[in-house]
Amino acid sequence: MAIYVRVNPRSQLASRHRAGLLFTALWLLIEVDAADRAAIEQDPYLEVSESDPTEIETAAVETELLDNPPSENADGALAQADAVIDSAESATVDSSGDAPEVVEVTEAAPETDPNQAIKDAINQLDKGNADQWLKDGRPSTKAIEEIVGVTVSSGLRDLVWADIRTEAAE
């Protein structure tokens, strides 16, 4: 059976391995058997759809545009609520009032894994110290918090713990 799968955008993961496949934020059409489908559907970090979600999302955007057309100013120009600069250059006027000077805007470094500090903290925990682990084998949030120095929710701990276990299984 064919299904569409992607990483759930709310999970903040860039990619996820499941059933021997790599999933990203883009929808991927795959052929799976019932067992693989069940494993993929049970993964809380993946989204699954039987119909083509890109068609549904496109239709939703088109409907939004039809229902909410851009407004016009008195002179007929389209009003834009949010100005977005998509180029790597911006213009400024120097103090003499001459032509604008082009200023290069440096791009930010690619974002690293926001959960890396928590992963590192979990890897530092002593497997022999029962105070740092729960009875079901998950790391204690208090033990992680002592290392990273910030509050860590159990949900975030579970997300990072699942990633560590997935990476270890690969």
- The predicted-structure confidence for 70-105, as pLDDT tens digits, reads as follows 555 555 554 444 444 444 444 444 455 555 555 555
Q: Name 48's bridge partners.
A: 5
Q: In this structure, are residues 46 and 23 in contact, taking their beta carbons and an 8 Å threshold?
A: yes
* Interatomic CA distance for residues 23 and 50, integer angstroms: 16
Site of tokens 């057309």: 69
Q: What are the tens digits of pLDDT across the range 14-49?
A: 888 888 888 888 888 888 888 888 888 888 889 888
Q: Which amino acid is at 36?
A: D
- What would the mean pLDDT of 8-14 be, rounded to a whole number? 84
Q: Which two tokens stand for residue 142?
A: 């208090």
pLDDT of residue 14: 86
- Residues 6 or more apart whose CB falls under 8 angstroms from that of 125 comprise 132, 133, 139, 143, 144, 147
Q: Does position 124 have pLDDT exceeding 80, yes or no?
A: yes
pLDDT of residue 132: 93
Tell me the pTM: 0.37
Q: pLDDT grade, residue 61 (50/70/90)?
A: low
SS3 for 13-77 is: CCCEEECCEEECCCCEEEECCHHHHHHHHHCCCEEEECCCHHHHHHHHHHHHHHHCCCCECCCCC
